[in-house]
Amino acid sequence: MSDILQKIQDLRKRIEHYDYEYHVLDRPSISDIEYDKLLNELVELEEKHPEYKTNDSPTMRVGGEVLEGFKKVDHDIPMLSLGNAFNADDLIAFDNRLKKIVSDFTYMVEAKIDGLAASLKYEEGYLVRAATRGNGTTGEDITHNVRTIKSVPLHLKQPLTIEVRGEIFMPKAAFMKLNEARNENGDALFKNPRNAAAGTIRQLDSKIAAQRDLDMFIYAMSEADSEAEITHEEALKKLSDLGFKTNPVSMKATTIDAVITQAKTIENDRHDYPYDIDGVVVKVNERTLYETIGYTAKSPKWATAYKFKAEEVMSVIKDIFFQVGRTGQVTPVAVMEPVEVAGSTVSRATLHNEKYVLDKDIRIHDSVSIKKAGDIIPEVVGVIKERRDGTQVPFKMIENCPKCETPLQRSQSELEHFCPNPECPAKRLETMIHFASREAMNIEGLGTKIMELYYNEGYLKSIPDIYRLNDHKDALMNRSGFGKKSIEKLLLNIEKSKENSLENLLFGLGIRFVGKKVSKVLAMHFKDMFAIVESQVDDLLALDDIGEKIAYSVTTYFSNDDNVAIINDLNTMGVNMKYKGKAPSQGVFSGKTIVLTGSLSSMSRKEAKEKIEALGGKVTGSVSKNTDYLCAGEDPGSKYDKAQSLGVAIIDEDTLRDMLDE
């Protein structure tokens, strides 16, 4: 090895060590001046000898890589979110749900960092990719910016191939400093540290991130990578040993009462932390139980987020208007004097329905207290009646649709009002907005504003028109307000959305009661849109998770020729109609290999195979050391012996059925 290379490597080792002390351990052992000297020396050497530059050199932290755009990243394992608990009772209910499924478990209680979730991939110890959560299935490649976060190791203390997840955030002090500087420069201020972190991670030029002091706590490693770490506590320890920064606010609890006490303590101290936290995450500690406890479509059932009580503030209602949703539901919405609540400015709040407004007696010009439900959705808590001065106008529900004038109908519960007109422009617009939304077809750039515009200009009348926008390319590019590049990008994103799997398309149609989970169930079972179009109520009722309400809603939707025409149109234009099964399902069998042997009495082998696969498992023909379960029916034969000799878990048909029912 040349002397120069030796020198470079020594410097890197030393700087890495100092970085780790400073940014992970929070225990620097040399002065900033000494540190800068070493770093400058390394920068100079690397500049003189570019042949020795590497991706994991600490000099990478200073940024410099500028991207043209963000690459999409498909997550191997979906990035889920968490269910919520808002009080002690919710936590007790969470505990009771768990106790029905498992016994003998403990909890870990952690601060819920208010930042952005991200996934980091290491190959043989080297950071190779960082991605945002995105919609959970697909995120964006942010490796260039994450490399600038000094607490994120560019290589690990062991040469592991591993995916870890955590929260990128901006410490409060860094946020204040950043906003002060922006203020001086006359730049717009960030609302809160989370927005600042999000705005920073979404920069194409990594120099910007390098200057902004982002930080990251790692809170999980992918299950496949941590066989030896049977508890979450041990997994955190291992992450820390590998060089990651883990959050010290993390404690074990054996009972839900202890969890509640700890959660309250963290809540009391929330403002003392140097970073924003918006709740407490409660996780089952024993990871071996995770598969058994299971998952919903959105979140693991073995964890929950206890969200801190929302701040309440006061404002005045300036007006109440009526919004028509995609199902035709008409909702009163309050327009308020803008106020800051829990970190962002709020000027609107849904008033839900007529009864809600009348029960609370909310009037225009009333002073009201508002909070953000779950820290997200602005809500009027109550009216401050002492402040009434006679100018208040009592509420009156409208009788006709605000968009198309059709007389409104009441829902069965009498609570909601609906516009029954299928041609109602408001419904059509909302339907298209839903279709393009992140959780549905995920067409980036086709948001509410641009939809409204194209709708008003006649380019978009119904869903298939989205795929005809390309025919108006020149006209769209020549109208003012949008750059050519952004239109081109939008059209490209529209084109790309044709490749989505069936469940996205199905969800995007906005059929009543067909949410994300039901869409997935239907897509997985029928595999093809036309099979769903043709399905009968009984076919649907035969599926788990599908009840009468959904079955009738689906068949009613497709008994309407206009809706079938939409499908045909989309099909003709090349929109994928098939289930691609890309995202592995999160279920009891997720990632597991199962061998079936002997005859089953309650179902055919084929049926069992389909069901196991639907829950994320793989069914193979022969037993090996990679087999997780052997399901032994009647007269099992030699596979049984082999499984026994290899120590593979053997389950009977009843157990298999129980697991499938799970």
How many residues sit close enough to ligand IVH to count as binding (CB under 6 A)?
A: 14
- Specify whether the CB–CB gap between 366 and 379 falls below 8 A: no
Cβ at position 133, least distance to ligand IVH in Å: 6
Residue type, 299: S
Of the pair 292, 553, the CB lying nearest ligand IVH is at 292
The interface region with ligand IVH, picked from 62-70, 105-113, 404-412, 558-566 by CB under 6 A, is 105-113
- CA dihedral of 230, 236, 240, 245, whole degrees rounded to 10: 160
User: Which tokens in the block code for residue 17?
Assistant: 């060590």
Tell me the C-alpha distance between 626 and 648, whole Å.
9
What 3-state class would DSSP assign to 44?
A: helix
Cβ at position 81, least distance to ligand IVH in Å: 4
Distances (CA, A) of 394 to 322, 365, 386, 388, 444: 15, 10, 16, 12, 41
Closest-CB residue for ligand IVH? Answer: 117
Among 73, 85, 91, 113, binds ligand IVH (CB under 6 A): 113
As to burial, measured by CB atoms within 10 angstroms (0-12 exposed, 13-18 middle, 19+ buried), residue 14 is middle
Of the pair 19, 167, the CB lying nearest ligand IVH is at 167
Q: Is 295 in the site for ligand IVH (CB under 6 A)?
A: no
Find the catalytic residue in 112, 301, 520, 592: 112
The interface region with ligand IVH, picked from 78-86, 368-376, 440-448, 566-574 by CB under 6 A, is 78-86
Cβ at position 411, least distance to ligand IVH in Å: 31
Cβ count near 599 (within 10 Å): 12
- Specify whether the CB–CB gap between 451 and 433 falls below 8 A: yes
Among 139, 153, 193, 300, binds ligand IVH (CB under 6 A): 300
Of the pair 219, 454, the CB lying nearest ligand IVH is at 219
Cβ at position 298, least distance to ligand IVH in Å: 9
112 catalytic residue (yes or no): yes
Cβ at position 240, least distance to ligand IVH in Å: 14
φ/ψ of residue 148, rounded to 5: -85, -10
Cβ count near 588 (within 10 Å): 21
Cβ at position 309, least distance to ligand IVH in Å: 17
Of the pair 58, 279, the CB lying nearest ligand IVH is at 279
Sign of CA dihedral 366, 367, 368, 370: positive
Of the pair 265, 299, the CB lying nearest ligand IVH is at 299
| Residues within window 80-99 making contact with ligand IVH, judged by CB under 6 A | 80-82
Element spanning 239, H or E? helix 232-242
Site track 187-226 with ligand IVH (rule: CB under 6 A), x = hit: --------------------------------xx------
* Cα angle: 361, vertex 363, 368; to 5 degrees: 85
**Beta pairing, strands 250-253 & 107-113:** antiparallel
Distances (CA, A) of 570 to 187, 387, 509, 520: 44, 55, 11, 19
Of the pair 281, 505, the CB lying nearest ligand IVH is at 281
- Specify whether the CB–CB gap between 197 and 142 falls below 8 A: no
φ/ψ of residue 106, rounded to 5: -125, 175
Placement of tokens 């080297």 in the chain: 126
As to burial, measured by CB atoms within 10 angstroms (0-12 exposed, 13-18 middle, 19+ buried), residue 271 is exposed
Q: Across 133-195, where does the E strand assignment appear?
A: 138-140, 162-169
Site track 234-273 with ligand IVH (rule: CB under 6 A), x = hit: ----------------------------------------
What 3-state class would DSSP assign to 613?
A: helix
The interface region with ligand IVH, picked from 110-118, 340-348, 395-403, 610-618 by CB under 6 A, is 110-118
Cβ at position 200, least distance to ligand IVH in Å: 16
φ/ψ of residue 650, rounded to 5: -110, 130
Q: Is 281 in the site for ligand IVH (CB under 6 A)?
A: yes
User: Which tokens in the block code for residue 155?
Assistant: 């290589």
Among 8, 117, 154, 429, binds ligand IVH (CB under 6 A): 117
Of the pair 309, 606, the CB lying nearest ligand IVH is at 309
Site track 167-186 with ligand IVH (rule: CB under 6 A), x = hit: x-------------------
Cβ at position 626, least distance to ligand IVH in Å: 26
Q: Is 296 in the site for ligand IVH (CB under 6 A)?
A: no
φ/ψ of residue 599, rounded to 5: -95, 145
Strand order in the sheet with 277-284: 83-85, 303-307, 277-284, 107-113, 250-253
Cβ count near 172 (within 10 Å): 15
Q: Is 403 in the site for ligand IVH (CB under 6 A)?
A: no
Cβ at position 93, least distance to ligand IVH in Å: 18
Tell me the C-alpha distance between 631 and 263, whole Å.
42
Of the pair 82, 476, the CB lying nearest ligand IVH is at 82
Strand order in the sheet with 116-123: 126-132, 116-123, 162-169, 215-221
Cβ at position 508, least distance to ligand IVH in Å: 23
Of the pair 62, 198, the CB lying nearest ligand IVH is at 198
The interface region with ligand IVH, picked from 106-114, 147-155, 238-246, 585-593 by CB under 6 A, is 106-114
Q: Is 110 in the site for ligand IVH (CB under 6 A)?
A: yes
The interface region with ligand IVH, picked from 39-47, 107-115, 185-193, 592-600 by CB under 6 A, is 107-115
Among 23, 75, 112, 403, binds ligand IVH (CB under 6 A): 112
Which positions are annotated as active-site residues? Answer: 112
Interface residues toward ligand IVH, by CB under 6 A = 80-82, 110, 112-113, 117, 167, 219-220, 281, 299-300, 305
